[in-house]
Amino acid sequence: MPVKPISNMIIAQITDFHARPPGVTAYGGIDTNGMLRQAVATIAKLNPRPDCVLATGDLTDCGLPDEYEIVVPMGEDTEMIAANAVEEIAKRAHFTPNAITQIKTALVEACINAAEHSLSPDRKIYQKFTVDSEKLVVTVTNRGLRLADKNARQVNANDGRRGWGLKLMKGLMDEVRIDQTDDGTRITMVKFIRRGSYQFPEPV
């Protein structure tokens, strides 16, 4: 029986970020954060675009909380880079595979939410990951139109994709908080290392 050919798949890999806290260089003057931003921007412009992006190796230099911070441009599926980064962080924190999938999905939803609704002037999404022995905290911040500025359009479960995205994030994570900042919106999502898993809704 003839074997059906497998279509080609394009995989981009970014490895060993050695990210440092904002404004801090590595190894006596190497701007690893700037190099990571350049790599992300380059991948976002690839044509054809990769089918997936792998983030591997030493994501941070010293494992400090402030080192788990990523800034990605909006659009072009760049939220998948952050999703792969948080996957590596969650694995090292010993989350279950199911919990890791939930965290990645919630992060992607938060990024899409920011890209589609914020009218951000700088078109960037700021993400920070903080890990301790009990939980992973994911913070997604964007500049631009705040939820509080949208009085004419209240956010609820019937508000199209945005309402569904917020509902999904709250189902996937153990805690979700939305705060208004001076120049935008911040979503804080918490996942505890030991807690029951969320079941995706059955299709209607």
The pLDDT tens digits along the chain (204 residues) read 566 666 788 888 988 888 887 778 888 889 988 898 888 888 888 888 888 888 888 877 776 665 667 777 787 677 888 888 899 889 988 999 999 999 999 999 998 888 876 676 777 888 888 888 899 999 998 887 655 555 434 444 444 445 567 889 999 999 999 888 777 888 999 999 975 444 444 444
Q: In the block, which residue shows the tokens 């999703």?
A: 83
Q: What's 136's domain CATH number?
A: 3.30.565.10
In angstroms, the CA 172 to CA 39 distance is: 30
| Number of other residues whose CB lies within 10 A of the CB of residue 170 | 16
End-to-end CA distance of the chain: 38
The total number of structural domains in the chain stands at: 1
20 within a domain of the structure (yes/no): yes
Amino acid letter at 111?
C
Q: Virtual CA dihedral for 75, 80, 85, 88, nearest 10 degrees?
A: 170
- CA atoms of 28 and 18, how far apart (whole Å): 13
pLDDT of residue 195: 53
Angle, CA 179 vertex, CA 173 and CA 182 arms, to 5°: 150
Q: Single out the residue of 150, 144, 146, 104 nearest to residue 124, CA to CA.
A: 144
Give the pLDDT of residue 173. Answer: 96
Residue 96, pLDDT score: 93
Indicate whether 204 belongs to any domain.
no
pLDDT at 138: 94
- C-alpha radius of gyration, the chain, whole number: 18
Secondary structure class of 118 (helix, strand, coil): coil
Is position 153 within any domain? yes
Is 1 within the bounds of a domain?
Answer: no
pLDDT of residue 82: 84
Q: What is the extent of the structural domain holding 78?
A: 11-192
pTM: 0.62
Q: What is the pLDDT of residue 124?
A: 83
Torsion-angle region of residue 94: left (phi > 0), alpha (psi -120 to 50) or beta?
left
- Cα angle: 112, vertex 118, 121; to 5 degrees: 115
Residue 6 lies in a domain: no
- The pLDDT score that the predictor gives to residue 165 is 77
* Domain assignment of residue 198, yes or no: no
Query: Residue 19's CB: how many other CB atoms inside 10 A?
Result: 24
| pLDDT attached to residue 98 | 94
Residue 108: DSSP 8-state: H
Residue 202 lies in a domain: no
